[in-house]
């Protein structure tokens, strides 16, 4: 669940001549320094530290707007009548535009004005956020019953058990269907799909160009620190997105056009829809503000000359001449430079677009021939599939499984799950550094982390709430239930077939879809100290005609949501231990000149094989556990009730499947690494006696020369 970065393009290194230049000069293509009228005096935007600050805030806002949909996915489903499969497809469309263009970043990386391209991408992300909120403004006000908005006094009467002759006229939803209604519904959903695609396209240049820009113009010793700060701030984006969702979903969806008499819903009512659109407006505004400074940064700035003082005090180590020679690109030997240019990724900037497209498949196949690289990428695909499904549908799962509100579910996830992800990534990096882990050690750490994650996932199958009884769906009140959906005691009532106004019999804990299906013919409001309670009386389908309480039946195990989420957070932290060591295995598993392209191919595979299909797979699995669908114009819309036991087993089982796949891949990685290490030691032991024998046979005059060799 950590931040997904694109391929880091190697930008042009600034010559030493530019490093010694004053702040107000830039190199022209001819190699001569010409003063720019705008740069005669030092500009605050010629500071790489300011760029790091601006880029951290921009990526924070970008991840907040891309993660906000996941926090309100169940609300969007209820508002527009979407299945989980459709909402999962909507969430995955963020990756479509991103994947289609991310490969070309390595081609255009050194040819464009990177800060301005980042600014243009951020503006597109902000526009996509505004477009996501547009369906709210072009749709009719939300109706949580089957009456017209102008007939508010009859809201409760539409749900009562009344004879056919005296029942208020309330046509079923199919009667209100027309070609215009269906076209408007499709256009609203299509707008959200287009907005998600634009959101992915706008995010293409932001992270790769920002990372390469920082790496080019920061001091060699400061660059890792700046990138660490960037990732640390960025990781707070999804957590803030769920926090924002928790606040916005407490507000009613039509807060900007409330009816005169108000609404009779509470946040705990299953028909409640929060102001999902308001969070997109806030996040889009934050991205637009963060994009402004990027149009003021130069295309190139003088490379940072000094190492940070506190870093020098911490390290307290003087760089050796060999390290300086290694860090300085101007001191490379001709042979080393030629060898570096042999990598296909290095010659990519010299190719045309057509040549780059032609050569890319060959480079891709060449990179996939590395067994360690292929196995680690497959394990990360499994982990990313797990993370994508969990991030998209965990809020909805908690709502349905433990009968909690969407606002409370987002609050728990933002406070527990995402901080644990950050802790896991940081601890994994610290262990790699402190223990000085090599490839075998990194593989062992990855395998250990995933085994522990798999172990702590087992109790999740047994922590949850079973579905309560629902009359006509999971519980039949008559002694001889027939084939009809609802019991025969409400046959005399004119109950709407698509109504949804749940009531609960507190004595038997049986829930009815509407008061009409419970046979209730009257409504009573009792004022309590803090709020009023609504009861329905004269119910023919309820034992002894007891009154029923408005709203769904409360769950008896809602308190288990905190232990459940603590185990999920612990498993996420253990899985994130593998982030840094697996990344190191990829960097050490390919040739030095192919590292940049290998990282790009890695994230391309993660998007295509994990982040795009996983939300759809999880959504389809959730849909198979539905026991009662709402109908809209003859088609299945949103699911009203799930089989909670089946939902838990399939959702957690799908997560367990991906975790098992990751364990298998890391076990194979460790086996291959140990085999390679064993072969290297065998080869070394065989070569050492031959060297000693050569030294003994050599003459005294050649002995010093041979020993040096």
For the segment 679-692, the average pLDDT, to the nearest whole number, is 73
Query: Looking at the predicted structure, is the pLDDT value of residue 437 above 80?
Result: yes
Q: Write down the pLDDT at residue 262.
A: 64
User: 229: buried, middle or exposed (CB in 10 Å: 19+, 13-18, 0-12)?
Assistant: middle
- 8 pLDDT band, cuts 50/70/90, is very low
Residue 628 has pLDDT above 70, yes or no: yes
pLDDT value at position 108?
A: 62
* Whether 43 contacts 23, CB under 8 Å: yes
| Most confident region among 216-230, 418-432, 449-463 by mean pLDDT | 449-463
% of the chain beyond a pLDDT of 70: 72
Set out the domains of the chain in order of their start, with CATH numbers. Answer: 43-142+183-312 (1.20.1250.20), 352-465+564-685 (1.20.1250.20), 503-550 (no CATH)
The pLDDT tens digits of the residues spanning 37-95 come to: 444 455 788 888 899 999 999 999 999 998 899 999 999 999 998 999 999 999 999 88
User: How does pLDDT run across 121-154, given as a tens digit for each residue?
Assistant: 999 999 999 999 999 999 888 887 644 444 444 4
- For residue 376, which of 9, 668, 33, 82 has the smallest C-alpha distance? 668
pLDDT of residue 350: 56
Mean pLDDT for 406-423 is 91
Of the two residues 68 and 697, the one the predictor is more confident about is: 68
Q: Which two tokens stand for residue 10?
A: 């190697």
* Total Cβ atoms within 10 A of residue 102: 23
| pLDDT band, residue 479 (cuts 50/70/90) | very low
What are residue 536's DSSP bridge partners? 523, 548
* Average pLDDT, integer, range 6-14: 43
Q: What is the pLDDT of residue 443?
A: 92
β partners of residue 526? 533
Distance CA(91)–CA(87), nearest Å, equals 6
Residues in the chain: 709
Q: How far apart are alpha carbons 597 and 159 in whole angstroms?
A: 62
Query: For residue 191, is pLDDT > 70?
Result: yes
Nearest to residue 633, comparing CAs of 272, 188, 185, 193? 185
Contact 428, 576 (CB under 8 A): yes
> For residue 284, what pLDDT is reported?
95
631 φ, ψ (degrees, to nearest 5): -110, 140
Q: Is 319 left (phi over 0), alpha (psi -120 to 50) or beta?
A: beta
- Pick 411 or 23 by higher pLDDT: 411
C-alpha 704/C-alpha 709 separation (Å) is 9
Tell how far CA 255 is from the center of its chain.
28
Residue given tokens 């995933």 in the structure block = 450
Indicate the pLDDT class of residue 409, thresholds 50, 70 and 90.
very high
Per-residue confidence (pLDDT) for residue 501, from 0 to 100: 86
Q: Which of 263-267, 547-551, 595-599 has the lowest mean pLDDT?
A: 595-599
* pLDDT at site 216: 80
| Per-residue confidence (pLDDT) for residue 617, from 0 to 100 | 95
Output phi, psi for 374, to 5 deg: -65, -45
What pLDDT digit, counting tens, does each position of 330-350 carry? 344 444 433 433 444 444 555
**98 band by pLDDT with thresholds 50, 70 and 90:** confident
Range with the poorest average pLDDT among 379-393, 432-446, 448-462: 432-446
Token representation of residue 594: 């192919």
> How high is the pLDDT of residue 357?
66
Average pLDDT, the chain: 77
CB atoms inside a 10 Å sphere around CB 38: 10
455-470 average pLDDT score: 91
**pLDDT score at 163:** 67
Residue 497 DSSP SS3? coil
Q: Report the half-sphere exposure of 623 (CA within 13 A, side-chain side).
A: 18
For the residues 99-109, what does the mean pLDDT come to? Answer: 66
Does the pLDDT at position 169 exceed 90? no
Measured CA to CA in angstroms, residue 66 lies from 76, 203, 241, 583, 587 at distances of: 15, 9, 8, 24, 28
pLDDT in tens, 537-577: 888 888 777 788 888 888 888 899 999 999 999 999 999 99
- 97 has a pLDDT exceeding 60: yes
Segments in 299-351 forming alpha helices (H): 309-315, 321-327, 334-341, 344-347
What integer is the mean pLDDT of 176-183? 71
When pLDDT is cut at 50, 70 and 90, the band that residue 31 belongs to is very low
Q: Residue 259's pLDDT band (boundaries 50, 70, 90)?
A: low
Neighbours of 310 (CB within 10 A): 9
Position 521 pLDDT exceeds 70: yes
Is the pLDDT score of 709 beyond 90? Answer: no
| Sign of the CA dihedral with 650 first, then 652, 654, and 657 last | negative
Number of alpha carbons in the 13 Å side-chain half-sphere of residue 453: 32
With contact defined as beta carbons under 8 Å apart, do 659 and 453 qualify? yes
pLDDT higher than 50, residue 250: yes
Residue 357 sits at φ, ψ, to 5 deg, of -65, -40
Query: What letter does residue 294 receive in the DSSP assignment?
Result: G
Return d(Cα 39, Cα 445) in angstroms, integer: 50
Token reading at 343: 């990598």
């Amino acid at each position: 669940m950590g931040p997904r970065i694109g391929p880091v393009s190697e930008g042009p290194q600034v010559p030493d001549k530019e490093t010694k230049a004053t702040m107000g000069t830039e190199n022209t293509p001819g190699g001569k320094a010409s003063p720019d009228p705008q740069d005669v005096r030092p500009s605050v935007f010629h500071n790489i530290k300011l760029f790091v600050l601006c880029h951290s805030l921009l990526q924070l806002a970008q991840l907040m707007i891309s993660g906000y949909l996941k926090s309100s996915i169940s609300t969007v489903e209820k508002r527009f009548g979407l299945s989980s499969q459709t909402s999962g497809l909507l969430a995955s469309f963020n990756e479509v535009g991103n994947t289609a263009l991310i490969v070309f970043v390595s081609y255009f990386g050194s040819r464009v004005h990177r800060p301005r391209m980042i600014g243009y991408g951020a503006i597109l992300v902000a526009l996509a956020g505004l477009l996501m909120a547009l369906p709210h403004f072009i749709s009719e006000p939300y109706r949580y019953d089957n009456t017209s908005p102008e007939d508010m006094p009859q809201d409760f009467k539409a749900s009562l058990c009344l004879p056919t002759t005296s029942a208020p006229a309330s046509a079923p939803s199919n009667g209100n269907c027309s070609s215009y209604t269906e076209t408007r519904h499709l256009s609203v959903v299509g707008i959200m799909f287009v907005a998600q695609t634009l959101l992915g396209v706008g995010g293409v240049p932001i992270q790769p160009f920002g990372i390469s820009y920082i790496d080019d113009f920061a001091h060699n010793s400061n660059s890792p620190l700046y990138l660490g700060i960037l990732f640390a701030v960025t990781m707070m984006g999804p957590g803030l997105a769920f926090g924002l969702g928790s606040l916005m979903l407490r507000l009613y969806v039509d807060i900007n056009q409330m009816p005169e008499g108000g609404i009779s819903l509470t946040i705990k009512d299953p028909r409640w829809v929060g102001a999902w659109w308001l969070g997109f407006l806030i996040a889009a505004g934050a991205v637009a503000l963060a994009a402004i400074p990027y149009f003021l940064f130069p295309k190139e700035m003088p490379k940072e000359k000094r190492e940070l003082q506190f870093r020098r005090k911490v390290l307290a180590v003087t760089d050796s001449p060999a390290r300086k020679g290694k860090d300085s690109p101007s001191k490379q030997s001709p042979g080393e430079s030629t060898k570096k240019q042999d990598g296909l990724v290095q010659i990519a900037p010299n190719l045309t677009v057509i040549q780059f497209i032609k050569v890319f498949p060959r480079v891709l196949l060449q990179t996939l021939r590395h067994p360690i690289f292929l196995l680690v990428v497959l394990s990360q695909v499994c982990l990313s599939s797990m993370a994508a499904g969990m991030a998209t549908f965990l809020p909805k799962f908690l709502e349905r499984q433990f009968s909690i509100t969407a606002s409370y579910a987002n609050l728990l996830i933002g406070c527990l799950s995402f901080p644990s992800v950050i802790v896991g990534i940081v601890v994994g990096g610290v262990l790699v550094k402190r223990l000085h882990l090599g490839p075998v050690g990194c593989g062992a750490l990855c395998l250990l982390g995933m085994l522990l994650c798999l172990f702590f996932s087992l109790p999740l199958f047994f922590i949850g709430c079973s579905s309560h009884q629902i009359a006509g769906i999971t519980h039949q009140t008559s002694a001889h239930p027939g084939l009809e959906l609802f019991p025969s005691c409400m046959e005399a009532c004119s109950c709407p077939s698509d109504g949804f106004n749940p009531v609960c019999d507190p004595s038997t804990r049986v829930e009815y879809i509407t008061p009409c299906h419970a046979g209730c013919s009257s409504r009573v409001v009792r004022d309590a100290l803090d709020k009023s309670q609504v009861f329905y009386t004269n119910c023919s389908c309820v034992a002894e005609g007891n009154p029923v309480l408005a709203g769904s039946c409360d769950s008896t195990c809602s308190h288990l949501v905190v232990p459940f989420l603590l185990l999920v957070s612990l498993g996420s932290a253990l899985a994130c231990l593998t982030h840094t060591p697996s990344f190191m295995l990829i960097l050490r598993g390919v040739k030095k000149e192919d590292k940049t392209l290998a990282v790009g191919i890695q994230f391309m595979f993660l998007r295509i094989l994990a982040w795009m299909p996983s939300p759809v797979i999880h959504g389809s699995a959730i849909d198979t556990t539905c026991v009662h669908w709402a109908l809209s114009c003859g088609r299945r819309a949103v699911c009203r009730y799930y089989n909670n036991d089946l939902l838990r087993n399939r959702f957690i089982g799908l997560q367990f499947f991906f975790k098992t796949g990751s364990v298998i891949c890391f076990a194979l990685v460790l086996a291959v690494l140990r085999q390679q290490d064993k072969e290297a030691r065998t080869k070394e032991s065989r070569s050492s006696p031959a060297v000693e024998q050569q030294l003994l046979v050599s003459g005294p005059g050649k002995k010093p020369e041979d020993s040096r060799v």
